[in-house]
Structure 1
Amino acid sequence: MDFEVTAMKTTYDANILTYCQWRDDLTMQQSPFCHVDNLIFCCLSYLNWDGIAEGFTAAESISLRDAARLWEHRPTAEQKVRVETDRDLLRQTAASRRFGEVRLFRYAEQFSETQQQQFSATAFLLDSDTVYVAFRGTDNTLTGWREDFNLSFLPYVPSQAAAAAYLRGILSLGFSNVYVGGHSKGGNLAVYAAVQMQPKDFPRIRAVYNNDGPGFVTDLFAEPQFQQLQERVYTFVPQASVVGMLLEHDEKYQVVYSTQKGFLQHDPYSWCVIRNDWYYSEDTTNTSKLLDSSLRQWILGMKPEEREKLTDAIFHILQSETNAHTIQDLIGGGAGTLSGVLRAWTDM
């Protein structure tokens, strides 16, 4: 492939699907794990691997190629596809030399409306001594969104505790090279989980990836022993990032070009790739900076108990006025649903 043509295309619209085509015939041994691979595993973690990749150890793992075959034979309702592009990604990766023999194990999912928890994780075995732990981001349930809001006033949320326990279990298996990451809330979980590990395990944590995930209400890296880990935390945000700018980030972030605009840049399939890395921008947009500053002042201007009351009010209205459990339920209700929510809000 002519690189000049590749570079020109990359500048505008090459994404992780394009990358899969380029790297199709190169194994992880031929071309080592990179930042782009990280996001691909994060996207694959959005898929429902229940009953397919639940083996507890590497010896009980299943190749992505075989897992995809089983997944495709499921009824559509059980596949639980977040976006159709996830299906495209699965088919491309499963058929490739680079990803087809990557092995999945220890799929976990915890969901509770009463505990306000939406959590899932998948372990991807890259070779006998290297594993990537992917934490799923926010799904389309109101419970998942509620847990996101809870991040603004709680010292930790249930999914953060679950993520730490999950990573602790992976480390107990003795892998020398452990990568941890997630997209959206999954990125927050990855950072939180890694920081909760014992300092003696830090050398085995090769990198932690926060792909446009929110920050924290407290400084996780305040303790001196965490400095060695902080240097291996990679935070990527698109130019017009909203989610990735929320709350406090002590670590540095790198800005990636996106083919989308505004909030839609949160879509991982819009992030631009050049060769085996991101196509980087020098900084976020002025709009993103203004929104970040405004939200930061607004959130920090409220006491934690005030943030909690506001969150309770928002979700009480959404559930009492709509009976909705997912974002699709809200959208499916049409204008009547929206007007009911707005009416209840103005009556408060």
Structure 2
Amino acid sequence: MFHMNDYLAWRGDLRFDERPLNEVDALVLSCLSYLDFTGFVPGPGAGGVSLSAACLALADEAGEDVSGRVRSLATLDAEYLRRLASSRRFGDLVLHDYVDQIDEGSSLQFAALRATLPDGDEFVSLRGTDSTLVGWREDFMLSFTVTEAQRRAAAYCAEALRGLAARGRDAYLGGHSKGGNLVAFAALSCPEGLRPRIREAYSFDGPGIAPEIMPQSPSSLLGDRFHHVCPEHSVIGMLLSRPEDPHAFVRSDGSGMLQHDPMTWECLPDGLARAEGLDDDARRVDEAIAAWVSQIDLDHRAEFVSELFGVLGAGGAATFDEVLQPPSIQAVLAAAVSVSDQSRELVRRLVGATVDAYRTSAGERVAEAREAAARQARELVRDVADHLALAGEEGEAEAPRRQPLLPRARGTRPDDDA
């Protein structure tokens, strides 16, 4: 299976005036904002720098391990950066107006940059979720409120479109994961007079927008200029999706949730390889989440999210990596004793899924450590499950049973298992 690295080998020698921008180009540029370009790409109004110079400088500083500069679970590496920088297609693009903002107090995580194409049009790249708890909390907040990142994205894109309109040029908008949601929100919030300047808008496995927050969908305003592209096993991208909106599904060689990584998507010389649709496992998860969203009002969604991330951050962790460390995981398990059944169950699932993803990644990259990593992961998941089950029993024995935040299915008794 061929990926974005292979695409750079196939099309890297062809400039955009020789082959127009396609959806793989849009994916490449959408992922560009996952890189921490602090110190390498100028901020708003401070000029620009070539993509080649920025990527090579970042790679030279980081050495062979650029993971410290990648603000995502996407597996961008030094080889990819150097191929991108050396390509005729992307190397001469001018990067500018880089912003990177995070504020735990307001659950804000927002980053973006702009790339000027050879014809004067621009690609606006909006960063998706990183591995911080702030970023993931903001993803969950999409189900009940307009987030600060969405407001920043709308303002950032509107400013870019005003400048382009004055020069008679257009913009492409693109983002992966939460970045795709920001693209959708920015397009919907765009002043009507500027909307024709959006040439294409791409949401790559990005969550939708709750209809209670934004009644219209991006495809209803942009038509076929809006593209929602997801892998076969899409959970994040189908969150808050609307049945009436078109979705394109693409093939991936990732396992389960790891298909969210765009570096696992199959690329062709002029596009992404299409899949028949969602796989059955993803469809079952998506239907369960959709049922949850439809059964709980906005206020209770907010309460649930606050409780959930209060538990995950109980040990002082700032990222999901840190949640799994011994000092933090012990505090998380202790905090889970006093929360609702729903939060306790979701903590168990999130910890288990995160461990499983790292176990799979370790197995693929370090063959000699595969069995040890898998054994440790199984032990951790088992310990988490046992501890949370015991916590639930002790909580019921020592305190009155809490009212669940989620409604029970019709026909079940209060003491029935969910």
Compute the TM-score of the two structures, normalised by the length of structure 2.
0.74
- After superposition, the C-alpha distances for 1:188-233 in whole angstroms (9 at most, x for unaligned) are 000100111122212210111010011111274639x984513311
Q: Which residue of 1 aligns with 2:298?
A: 304
Q: Which residue of 2 aligns with 1:9?
A: none
Q: Percent identity?
A: 32
Q: Which residue of 2 aligns with 1:140?
A: 131
> Which has more radius of gyration?
2
Comparing 80-89 with 65-74, greater Cα deviation is found at 80-89
Structure 1 CA distance for aligned equivalents of residues 30 and 21 of structure 2: 14
**Which residue identity does 2:85 align to in structure 1?**
A
SS at match of 1:121: strand
Seen in structure 2, the aligned counterparts of structure 1 residues 267 and 54 have a Cα distance that, compared at 3 Å, is same
Q: Which residue of 1 aligns with 2:110?
A: 119
Seen in structure 2, the aligned counterparts of structure 1 residues 37 and 221 have a Cα distance that, compared at 3 Å, is farther
| Aligned-residue offset at 1:331 | 2.3
Structure 2 CA distance for aligned equivalents of residues 78 and 275 of structure 1: 27
Structure 1 CA distance for aligned equivalents of residues 307 and 240 of structure 2: 20
| Structure 1 vs Structure 2 CA RMSD | 2.3
Structure 2 CA distance for aligned equivalents of residues 337 and 261 of structure 1: 30
| Aligned-residue offset at 1:56 | 3.1
| Aligned-residue offset at 1:343 | 4.1
Seen in structure 2, the aligned counterparts of structure 1 residues 221 and 39 have a Cα distance that, compared at 3 Å, is farther
SS at match of 1:215: coil
CA contact (8 A) 1:64 1:94 kept: yes
Compute the TM-score of the two structures, normalised by the length of structure 1.
0.89
SS at match of 2:61: coil
Residues 1:330 and 2:323 aligned together: yes
Q: Which residue of 2 aligns with 1:31?
A: 19
Structure 1 CA distance for aligned equivalents of residues 318 and 113 of structure 2: 24
| Aligned-residue offset at 1:152 | 1.0
Structure 2 CA distance for aligned equivalents of residues 141 and 281 of structure 1: 31
Q: Which residue of 2 aligns with 1:222?
A: 216
Unaligned residue ranges in structure 1 (runs of 5+): 1-12
**Which residue identity does 1:94 align to in structure 2?**
A
Structure 2 CA distance for aligned equivalents of residues 84 and 218 of structure 1: 33
Seen in structure 2, the aligned counterparts of structure 1 residues 179 and 258 have a Cα distance that, compared at 3 Å, is same
Q: Which residue of 2 aligns with 1:62?
A: 49
Residues 1:80 and 2:72 aligned together: no
CA contact (8 A) 1:330 1:337 kept: no
| Aligned-residue offset at 1:336 | 4.0
Unaligned residue ranges in structure 2 (runs of 5+): 339-343, 345-391, 396-401, 403-418
Q: Which residue of 2 aligns with 1:194?
A: 187
CA contact (8 A) 2:75 2:261 kept: no
| Aligned-residue offset at 1:103 | 1.0
Which structure's relative contact order is higher, taking Cα pairs within 8 Å and 6+ residues apart? 1
Structure 1 CA distance for aligned equivalents of residues 75 and 83 of structure 2: 13
Q: Which residue of 2 aligns with 1:10?
A: none
CA contact (8 A) 1:25 1:96 kept: yes
Equivalent residue runs for 1:183-262 within 5 Å? 183-218=176-211, 220=214, 222=216, 227-249=220-242, 251-262=245-256
Identify which of 151, 173, 181 aligns with 2:163.
173
CA contact (8 A) 1:131 1:179 kept: yes
Identify which of 107, 125, 143 aligns with 2:98.
107
Q: Which residue of 2 aligns with 1:71?
A: 58
